[in-house]
Amino acid sequence: MIELHAFDDARAQQDALSQAVGDALQSSLAARIGAARATLAVSGGTSPRPFLQALSRRALDWTRIDVTLVDDRWVPPMHADSNARLVRDTLLQHAAREAVFRPLVDVEQAPAAHVAALNADASRALPDVAVLGMGEDGHTASIFADAPQWDLATRTRERYVLVQPRQAPHLRVSLSLSALRQIGRLFLLVSGQRKLDVLRAAIEQSQHNAISKLANDTGVNVDAYWCA
């Protein structure tokens, strides 16, 4: 189920989302015993930048928070298309510089072997809180309906998958649909009328895309923050 929160301007949207994500992280930390940690996963692209900058200033116990990504492109960490670079430049600043960052990509490794290692790493907990994005084709994370790995990404029980979209550049590492379904608090950041139309269509009737699969899963709750 997706609950839509609509805003008149981007500043109100990013402030409300950063407050909601901060509250969710605070609740996750409060539920932990002792020094146990919470994990936040965020998305890349251009839209999240102001939100990530706002979140970086939230007064949280960032020393107990691991930051990771919902997905990333298989590019070096300083590449312009790297989501890891975006996170370092925006979120891991100010108060949030005390967080521990756990990237998804290591281009020094073979991609398949690296993803197998991610899946075998017991220290990589599923995120407690994740902030998703969405493309105009309805993909979220890097679960693209046009990718040869669509069936794997939507059916596997593994947490991480490799995906090579046909209509988007770069090989990607992504959380699987199964992993997304298991995250306790899911948020979605979207902007523009076109994406609102895609989101509403995904909610109203099952579509062949990842966001519709989440929207029509009765066991999943997503808070969508939208502005024009």
- Per-residue pLDDT tens for 27-74? 999 998 877 899 999 999 888 999 999 999 999 999 999 999 999 999
Mean pLDDT of the chain: 96
- Answer whether residue 14 shows pLDDT above 90: yes
Structural domain includes residue 198: yes
Three-class SS state of 25: helix
Task: Please write the tens of the pLDDT for every residue from 183-207.
Answer: 999 999 999 999 999 999 999 999 9
Per-residue pLDDT tens for 95-107?
999 999 999 999 9
Indicate whether 19 belongs to any domain: no
Q: Is residue 15 part of a domain?
A: no
CATH classification at residue 214: 3.40.50.1360
Q: Is residue 18 part of a domain?
A: no
pTM value is: 0.96
State the pLDDT at residue 121: 97
**Residue 68 and residue 127 in contact, taking contact as beta carbons nearer than 8 Å:** yes
Contacts of residue 176, Cβ cutoff 8 Å, sequence gap at least 6: 143, 152, 153, 154, 156, 157, 158, 159, 160, 161
Average pLDDT of span 138-155? 98
Domain count of the chain? 1
Residue 12, domain member (yes or no)? no
Asked if the structure places residue 116 within a domain, the reply is yes
Average pLDDT over residues 166-173: 96
Contact by Cβ (8 Å): 164, 171: yes
pLDDT at 42: 98
What is the domain range of residue 44? 2-6+27-183+194-227
The per-residue b/e assignment along 195-205, b for 16 or more CB within 10 angstroms, e otherwise, is: bbebbebbbee
Domain annotation covers residue 82: yes
